[in-house]
Amino acid sequence: MGDPIDTAQEFAGKIKEIYKNELVSVNLYGSAAGKEYVPGKSDINLLVVLTDEAMSNLTALFPHVRSFRKKRVSIPLIITEQFITTSLDTFPVEFLNMKLQYNLLEGKDVLADLAIDRACLRTQCERELKGKLLYLRHGFIETEGRAKALVLLITRSLKSFIFLFNALLYLKDVPIPETRREKLSLVSSNYGVDKRVFHNLLDVYEEKTRPGQVVLQQLVLTYIKEMMELSRKVDSLRV
């Protein structure tokens, strides 16, 4: 597979052809805009900003859905500028993550000057951590202790937690590194949780190790314990 930026630019061009002057911006964001993109595994994520009038013409994208999927381009996140300005208090984690790692492909740079409210960010982090912790406990029981299911639980949950870790580092005024391993280390040291647990989880996530069933069960139980501690730390954090 080719360069994800080239692929994203190709689809940005198609979107520009469709919407012309009603297109405000197209941005590539997520792993494809950074150093940890994995061809054939990572998705290519696009943020498309349209005018209000263009929102009545979303059907114009129907003919391109299959080609999006074929090249692992996720269905674009389509919003308006007004949605951005009125949603920073609702989705500060999502907009912070976009702002941290993106490439402007077409039009206006709508992400560069976004102001993220730290109080709103902390509140969403607390809510998301507690929700994902509930999912992690429920998911652990649902695996029935089976190794394959435990690996899948680690992979899905760790990805969503790492998404939050950028925000947790931002709340501590810590420069946010580009790699997952560095992020895990910094969150561990700044919030007083066990770095070794997160690195062991990341080794499973990146398929560097294949622990047996018993080891995986204990790893996830320790994972739950550390996430409980992290949730408490964020709950008491004052910004």
Domain limits of the chain?
A: 4-107, 118-235
pLDDT of residue 108: 97
Do 122 and 173 touch, CB atoms closer than 8 A?
no
Strands 23-29 and 102-107: antiparallel
Q: Which CATH class is domain 4-107?
A: alpha beta
Q: What mean pLDDT comes out for the span 205-214?
A: 96
The pLDDT tens digits of the residues spanning 82-138 come to 999 999 999 999 999 999 999 999 999 999 999 999 999 999 999 999 999 999 999
C-alpha 188/C-alpha 185 separation (Å) is 5
Share of the chain above pLDDT 90, in %: 93
**How much is the CA Rg of the chain, to the nearest whole Å?**
19
Angle at CA of residue 184, ends 180 and 185, nearest 5°: 120
The pLDDT tens digits of the residues spanning 133-191 come to 999 999 999 999 999 999 999 999 999 999 999 999 999 999 999 899 999 999 999 99
pLDDT of residue 152: 97
Q: What is the dihedral of CA 102, 91, 74, 106, to 10 degrees?
A: -40
C-alpha 51/C-alpha 53 separation (Å) is 5
